[in-house]
Amino acid sequence: MATSPGARGHGVSGVGPRTREGKTPTLYDVARLAGVSTATVSRVLHGHDRVSEATRERVREVIDELGYVPDGAAQSLSRRRKEVIGLVTVARETKQYDVESMSLLFWDEVLHGVEARLRDHGWSLLITFLPTEGGGDHLERLASLSGKVDGLLIGEGMIPSARLARLAERVPIVVIAGAPDERAVDVVVADNYSGTAALVTHLVVEHGLRRLYHVDGPESAPDARERRRALEAVLASTPGGTLVGSRRGTFSVQSGEEAAQELLRDVDRLPDAVVCANDQMAIGVLQAFARAGVRVPADVAVVGFDDIYPGGLSDPPLTTVHQPMRLLGERACARMLEHLAHPDLRPALEMLPAELVLRSSCGCDPDAATRRPVPRVKAKRAGRRPSGVAG
């Protein structure tokens, strides 16, 4: 019992710190050098069972001396849990900062939220950015990813809904900022509907603006869809509320500029306000208006959605709705951990409150920029999920 615990075929050499030349020390090395079994070392490592103080001490010393660190792969395999979750979002390829690339900060912010929550639990975060354009081998990358993690957090629009369901058979999945009517997987999303409703209501009630123009997002974007529905609902219940025009953009600054130009050309009388489906397009509108000599907010108000950084710096500063990006990440992560703890949990929708950010492009006092929580409003028509956290 004293000196010959099973060395398991490992070539033994001197008693120097690194026992098997050049190799990283393993649990067996520690056990051998401490004159105990691997079980005991493992117990010491995890503060588990009752191990005598003396033994514990001895093992600790050897661990220290060897600089031993348990191998993650072996632990994962043995525990049947990797304590790693994966995050899949958009790759940012640009070398230069610009408003466009800043919008991708959305995901960086989400990432930080996820990591913070994960860190609390001692788990790790595996990152994968997928280029949005060229389809191709993504499926394969995702499959291989799913073998390396316990769960997958996926950004909206990264993967078609059908594939999601398939993937979800292997690992739990939480979609971030996804469509609120997704059913097969968990979704954590900002309350786009209520946010836009609050914003438009602000325009209508506090600034008396009634004739609105809408710069919509792409057809495929679920968030843009929600925002549009809210706009229409508020307008419908406002006496005199009119949608004087609308145009679809691509969420880019340029498409915002184009929308503004078209608006300027086609409409003989300016609307009271231009409501854009995101901040980038609002910034584009602002730029086009500035060039055309249209004053904002004097001649027309302009508002966006998301609260990306450059919006606070534009001229005039953009009124918008804040997406709780960091929180989105944190909640998605929290849901995932719950899921792993209770594998029989049914997928649900979690909707996070947005926040109104009143700067001056809507006509508010520039010096009194404020943030204001957005109350939850129920969407009028169906299409929502019947059950879930969202109630």
Partner DNA sequence: ATGACTCGTCTAAGCGCTTACACTAAGGTT
Partner DNA sequence: AACCTTAGTGTAAGCGCTTAGACGAGTCAT
The binding site for DNA (CB under 7 A) comprises 1, 5-6, 8-10, 23-24, 26-28, 35-40, 42-43, 45-46, 48-52, 54-56, 68, 70-71, 74-75, 77-80
> Least Å distance between CB 349 and DNA?
32
Site for a second copy in 52-81 (CB under 8 A): 67, 69-77
Should residue 133 be labelled a site residue for a second copy when binding is judged by CB under 8 A? no
Q: Which does 153 bind (CB under 5 to 8 A by kind): a second copy, DNA, none?
A: none
Q: Give the chain's count of helices (H) and strands (E).
A: 14, 13
Q: Are 356 and 199 in contact (CB under 8 A)?
A: yes
Nearest by Cα to 188 from 30, 334, 72, 337: 334
Q: What is the per-residue DSSP string for 216-261?
A: E--TT-HHHHHHHHHHHHHHHTSTT-EEEEEEE--SSHHHHHHHHH
Interaction with a second copy in 139-168: which residues (CB under 8 A)?
141, 143-149, 166
Q: How far apart are CA 262 and CA 185, in angstroms?
A: 40
Q: Which among 279, 366, 276 has a CA at the least distance from the CA of 325?
A: 279
The Cα 201–Cα 199 span in angstroms is 5
Backbone angles phi, psi at 137, to 5 degrees: -80, 10
In whole angstroms, the minimum distance from the beta carbon of 51 to DNA comes to: 4
Q: Which stretch binds a second copy (CB under 8 A): 136-144, 225-233, 262-270, 360-368?
A: 136-144
Query: Binds 384, which of a second copy, DNA, none (CB < 5 to 8 A, cut-off by type)?
Result: none
Contact with a second copy (CB under 8 A): which of 31, 34, 88, 102?
A: 102
Q: How far is the CB of 78 from DNA (least distance, A)?
A: 3
For 1-32, the three-class secondary structure string (H helix, E strand, C coil) is: CCCCCCCCCCCCCCCCCCCCCCCCCCHHHHHH
CA distance 198 to 196: 5
Q: Taking the complex as a whole, how short is the minimal distance between the CB of residue 389 and a second copy, in angstroms? A: 22
In the complex, the residues that contact a second copy under the rule CB under 8 A are: 24, 67, 69-77, 82, 84, 91-93, 95, 97, 102, 105, 108, 111-112, 115-116, 119, 122, 124-129, 141, 143-149, 166, 169-170, 309-310, 312-313, 326
